[in-house]
Amino acid sequence: MNNKRFSTEDSALLLIDHQVGTIKLARNIDHEEIIKNTRALARTAVETQMPLVLTSSQEDHFQGLLLEDLQKIAPEDYLKRIKRPGVVDAWQYQPFKDAVEKTGKKRLIMAGLTNDVCIVYPAMSALEDGYEVQVVVDAGGSPTTLADETSLRRMEKAGVILTSTNQVMAELAMDWASEKGSRIQRIMYEEILKKYIES
């Protein structure tokens, strides 16, 4: 396994099925936390010019549209989102895979709703195709803690790197005093840390 840290220059961010309906299926983590972590990841990608690929599944069913936060943070990427007709493993839907390949990045940071269905399969599929993959576990969730833990064990056993929002943002920043690091630190404070520091 390559232990070289992921960077904003060599990585792409994939947000899978962060939809108004699918978030209701995440019961092991507070929805507000999922949203703030997803916001932080999306802002990090947009504000550091990392490639961002969004995808949704069956928007005309209960899953609904992507979260409004994503529409506001990344309007261009939202318009280019890959709307899947129902393929569970997003990686097996060729337009999504093509969009990822078009970024030219071989290191992928992924998050999705839910962890036990929507992220586990594309993470493993991308890994099988030679990509390095990190899954941000707290920007997703599952219907039960058992389902979530089982999916995380399965991904990790396959070779997927599991991470958290703060951890991957710190990895991408690497130096809080740098211009990029300062920008990421500000996002982390505004989206995640502010309520802890000011309480």
Query: Would you name the residues annotated as active-site residues?
Result: 118
How far apart (Å, rounded) are the C-alpha atoms in residues 122 and 129? 10
Backbone φ/ψ region at 75: left (φ over 0), alpha (ψ -120 to 50), beta: alpha
What is the rounded distance in angstroms from the CA atom of residue 71 to the CA atom of residue 25? 21
Provide the b/e sequence for 59-90 (b: ≥16 CB within 10 Å).
Answer: beeebbbbbebbeebbeebbeebbbbeebebb
Cα–Cα dist 35/140, whole Å: 9
CA distances from 51 to 43, 88, 187 (A): 11, 23, 17
Three-class secondary structure of residue 86 per DSSP: coil
Which of 59, 40, 63, 7 minimizes the C-alpha distance to 111? 40
Q: Output the six-digit token pair for 82.
A: 């890959």
